[in-house]
Amino acid sequence: MTLVIATATPFHGHVQPVLAVASDLVRRGHEVVVLTGSRFAEDVRAAGALHVSLPPEADFDDRKLELYFPERGALPAGPRQLDYDLKHVFGDPTAAQYRALHSLLARRFPASVVVSDPLFLGATALALSAPPGRRPVTVSLGITMPTLLSEDAPPIGLGMPPLVGEGAKKRHRDMNDQVREVFADAQRHVEDNFGESGTELPGFLLDCLVTVPDHYLQLTVPGFEYPRGDLPPSFRFVGPLPAAPPSGTRSLPDWWTEVEDADRPVVVVTQGSFDNRDLGRLVRPALDALAGEDVLVVAATGRADGPDRIRAAGPVPANARVAGYVPFDALLPHASVLVTNGGYGGVHQALRYGVPLVVGGDGEDKPEVAARVEWSGAGLDLRTGRPSPTVVRDAVRRVLAEPGFRKRAAGLREKFGRHDALGAIAEVVGGATAAAGPA
């Protein structure tokens, strides 16, 4: 048995994959403490682990970000918002996260391994606090695309695929230099936060997120990530996490037989389980776009009041069915296309079933996910988080008409099947006990 601390910044999209790993490690006989936001205590206990809340200066409710970070809402999605997030959402809690980790290790739970999401910078500070063997082994889970700058690919934030041809590497290096300049102030800000924890960043923050941990395990396959020849030895593709098993009795809508018996393509539309406050960004435009098409549209709004919100904005087309929650493990096997805002986990869930995608998302990592969907050939990138109905309709028509999209999605599904992410993580954890020194 290994003592493991799993840490996650208190965002739903960061906590859930960490909890999936924690639950699997508990099932394998390890003892796990999860250090994360207070609002996730019940989820942690359901995973079979012990919950420890982050200290108040590092804790927040991601459903009410405007209360904790009021300036953020006025910033446009893109570099300015990312600069703010690096400084304040992820940077400022660093020292408090580190102190909480150090206290937990020293007084209550002398773990051999710390598993974290990459933006829990307190774990990065822990990795820098002492050489390997004098601290726990650190394992970072690549819950979204790697941030490491490379001469083989553009930096994150641009939402563009790698350049090709003569001079591509130089242009990538030039873009990397520009990114370092753009985020120079954020770099200084975060360095100050690391200084408060008694550690020092050894390089550019976006590089350090990948290079500092003892193990960086990317939760995808090479076919969904831009090739790089300059990845560190600690980097490893382990495939995506499996879909969460159904919990309790699944509730299917009363129109479910229409999905099972559909004699026309089923187009699933979603804005994910979290970024769904404004269903007019993607769900409503998709319903309007596909109203006259020979398809069955299933809009999974991800919120209990979603159907009412949709109806308040206009009539539901005759070929559409709207629900608050639909189990995707039941729905996706029937889907011909998924129209989505591009969450990393949701996109991988669709590809697990070989479902091609139409992606319209902005903010956070969504433009980067969308770019990789198109680069991989598994779908189309709408290059906006608020597409017009015409744009959505044309994209869905194309994905349905051209078999190459489904073929490439099926190819990624086959590659996923060659990997066992949970098994690979457990292997690293199991082998880490001997490598870890005193906490």
Dig out the tokens for 259 from the structure. Answer: 């999905």
Judge whether 130 lies within some domain. yes
Judge whether 411 lies within some domain. yes
Judge whether 438 lies within some domain. no
Judge whether 244 lies within some domain. no
Q: What is the pTM of this model?
A: 0.93
Say yes or no: 380 and 306 in one domain. Answer: yes
Q: How many domains does one find in the chain?
A: 2
Say yes or no: 295 and 426 in one domain. Answer: no
Say yes or no: 184 and 302 in one domain. Answer: no
- Determine the pLDDT at residue 157: 85
Judge whether 246 lies within some domain. no
Say yes or no: 356 and 393 in one domain. Answer: yes
Residue bearing tokens 């200066």: 57
CATH of the domain at 32: 3.40.50.2000
Say yes or no: 169 and 210 in one domain. Answer: yes
Say yes or no: 216 and 353 in one domain. Answer: no
Judge whether 206 lies within some domain. yes
- Determine the pLDDT at residue 246: 58
Say yes or no: 177 and 260 in one domain. Answer: no
Say yes or no: 228 and 311 in one domain. Answer: no
Range of the domain at 382: 256-416
Say yes or no: 281 and 397 in one domain. Answer: yes
SS (H, E, C) the chain: CCEEEEECCCCHHHHHHHHHHHHHHHHCCCEEEEEECHHHHHHHHHCCCEEEECCHHHCCCHHHHHHHCCCHHHCCCCHHHHHHHHHHHHHCCHHHHHHHHHHHHHHHCCCCEEEECCCCHHHHHHHHHCCCCCCCEEEEEECCCCCCCECCECCCCCCCCCCCCCCHHHHHHHHHHHHHHHCHHHHHHHHHHHHHCCCCCCCCHHHHHHHCCCEEEECCCHHHCCCCCCCCCCEEECCCCCCCCCCCCCCCCCCHHHHHCCCCCEEEEECCCCCCCCCCCCHHHHHHHCCCCCCEEEEECCCCCHHHHHHHCCCCCCCEEEECCCCHHHHHHHCCEEEECCCHHHHHHHHHCCCCEEECCCCCCHHHHHHHHHHHCCEEECCCCCCCHHHHHHHHHHHHHCHHHHHHHHHHHHHHCCCCHHHHHHHHHHHHCCCCCCC
Judge whether 395 lies within some domain. yes
Say yes or no: 263 and 130 in one domain. Answer: no
Say yes or no: 279 and 226 in one domain. Answer: no
- Nearest Cα neighbor of 437 from 107, 114, 24 is 114
- Determine the pLDDT at residue 76: 86
Judge whether 249 lies within some domain. no
Dig out the tokens for 74 from the structure. Answer: 């006025």
Say yes or no: 170 and 55 in one domain. Answer: yes
Q: Mind listing the pLDDT tens digit of every residue in the chain (439 residues)?
A: 899 999 999 999 999 999 999 999 999 999 999 999 999 999 999 999 999 999 999 999 998 999 999 999 899 878 888 999 999 999 999 999 999 999 999 988 999 999 999 999 999 999 999 999 999 999 999 999 999 999 999 999 889 999 999 999 999 999 999 999 999 999 999 999 999 999 999 999 999 999 999 999 999 999 999 999 999 999 999 999 998 765 555 689 999 999 999 999 999 999 876 676 788 789 999 999 999 999 999 999 888 888 888 888 889 999 999 998 889 999 999 999 999 999 999 999 999 999 999 999 887 889 999 999 999 999 999 999 899 999 999 999 999 999 999 999 999 999 999 999 999 999 999 987 655 544 4
